Amino acid sequence: MRRLLVCLVLFGAPLPAQSLLYRSPNLSGTWVPEAGVLQFNFLHRFYVNQAQKSVTNYPTFTFAFGFPAQTAIGFHYATRSEVSTTFTNEFELYGRWQHAVGPVMLALTPAYNTAAKSVDGELGVDWTRGPITLQAAARAMKHAYRVDTTRFALAGGAVLRLNSYVGLSGDVASLLSKRPGEQVAWSAGLVLAIPNSPHTFSLHASNVDVNTIEGSSRRSPLIAGITKKPIYGFEFTVPVHPSRFRAWFTKSSSTAVSGDLGAPVAATISISAMKFPTDTIVISAGQAVRWNNADPLGHTITFDPASGEASSDLIVASGSYVHRFNRPGTYAYHCTPHPFMKGVVVVK
């Protein structure tokens, strides 16, 4: 396991990752990895028993692979779960479809929990404005906790980004009809983005051990019976991009040019020093922008899917990409392998 974690950290950076600056510790949010990206999250929580001088660990691993049309398939795996009294290992297999409706992001997540033998589901909602992201989720569990009939839960959370690298987050969740010993689930965290990388890291406290649909919908009676204090932990996000490995074995022309080669170029941007030197370019509708890659690494011009603009493939070193903008508007873009590289095209 140690070798696996080392490989994922080394080969995952710097590539696009889920940002913990946009979701709270116990809510999955509406995120899906970009198409072709394997997302790995390592969540580790622990409880320190002062009386017995012992530490109980609650590790959870998340793997998810992104597909086109804003969809993903993945699983959560917890080695010490409190969802069922019969099994300590918990698998939650899930799929997710994400859809933007104006400023609101929706996500539908069907899932199957192997420990509870339950078909579950979640409808998630995110709303982001400026430094604030608000989250909500409605959950249904067909055979909750391996002993119950269908049960429902509601959850809500928020993230406040103090700047581009630091944020505060928290959430609460509750079953609509609680049984004896079941309590409201909660979490609170400090989120950190690692500069010049796609990785984010959170330190948090919670009263639940895992963030599956069932695990984060209540404080387990098993935990409530033995602990009086919160469970502490951290989460680290790591992306793995297959195209990066293909680039190692593919020889590309140093003068490769892609995009709309016949479009009238009104502005040229030279990508160098791992940044777009001109953050904002203003052009007229029908004109094009050309990006020349002067870095030794490959970059992309990736637009928000909601903009309707086609993003580039990997622009190799000394390569170029030309894109025509036919509609007025403001088009933000970033580099997929290096998401801290950002720019804006304003079309009049």
pLDDT value, residue 14 = 35
Provide the 8-state DSSP code for 337.
S
Question: Are residues 203 and 258 located together in one domain of the fold?
Answer: no
Say if residues 121 and 142 touch (Cβ distance below 8 Å): no
> How far apart (Å, rounded) are the C-alpha atoms in residues 183 and 294?
56
For residue 52, is pLDDT > 80?
A: no
Is residue 16's pLDDT more than 60? Answer: no
Same domain, 153 and 47: yes
pLDDT-derived band at 62 (thresholds 50, 70, 90) equals very high
DSSP state of 178: P
Same domain, 234 and 329: no
CB 191 within 8 A of CB 255: no
* 208 and 68 share one domain: yes
- Given a cut of 90, is residue 234 above it in pLDDT? yes
Mean pLDDT taken over the chain:
83
Cα separation, 237 vs 232, whole angstroms: 17
Tell me the average pLDDT across 331-337: 88
Higher pLDDT, 235 or 29: 235
314 and 281, same structural domain? yes
The C-alpha atoms of residue 28 and residue 95 are separated, in whole angstroms, by 12
Q: Looking at the predicted structure, is the pLDDT value of residue 112 above 90?
A: yes
Q: Between 278 and 88, whose confidence is greater?
A: 88
CATH number at residue 169: 2.40.160.40
Residues 31 and 153 in one domain: yes
Average pLDDT over residues 273-288: 85
User: Lowest-pLDDT range, 106-115, 246-255, 265-274?
Assistant: 246-255
User: For residue 137, which of 121, 116, 123, 119 has the smallest C-alpha distance?
Assistant: 123
Both 139 and 275 in one domain: the answer is no
**Any idea what the CATH number is for the domain that residue 306 is in?**
2.60.40.420
One domain for residues 212 and 193: yes
Shared domain check, 192 and 47: yes
Which of residues 217, 242, 267 is at a domain's end?
Answer: 242
Within 131-287, where are the H helices?
221-226, 242-249
Could you tell me where the DSSP H helices lie in 75-227? 221-226
d(CA 324, CA 308): 12
Percentage of the residues of the chain whose pLDDT score is greater than 70: 86
Q: Which of 190, 223, 242 is the last residue of a domain?
A: 242
Q: Taking residues 182-192, what's their average pLDDT?
A: 93
Could you say which DSSP state residue 145 is in?
G
pLDDT for 159 beyond 90: yes
**Domain ranges, residue 282:** 251-347
Residue 11 has pLDDT above 60, yes or no: no
Asked whether residue 102 falls in the same domain as residue 229, the answer is: yes
Of the three residues 185, 207, 242, the one that is the final residue of a domain is 242
User: Shortest CA distance to 209 belongs to which of 62, 79, 331?
Assistant: 79
Tell which wins on pLDDT, 32 or 171. Answer: 171
Asked if residues 208 and 188 have their Cβ atoms less than 8 Å apart, the reply is no
What total of structural domains would you count in the chain? 2
pLDDT of residue 4: 38
11 to 39, 165, 195, 301: CA distances (angstroms): 12, 22, 17, 22
**How far is Cα of residue 243 from the mean position of the Cα atoms in its chain?**
19
Q: Is the domain of 228 the same as that of 258?
A: no
Q: Do 220 and 318 share a domain, yes or no?
A: no
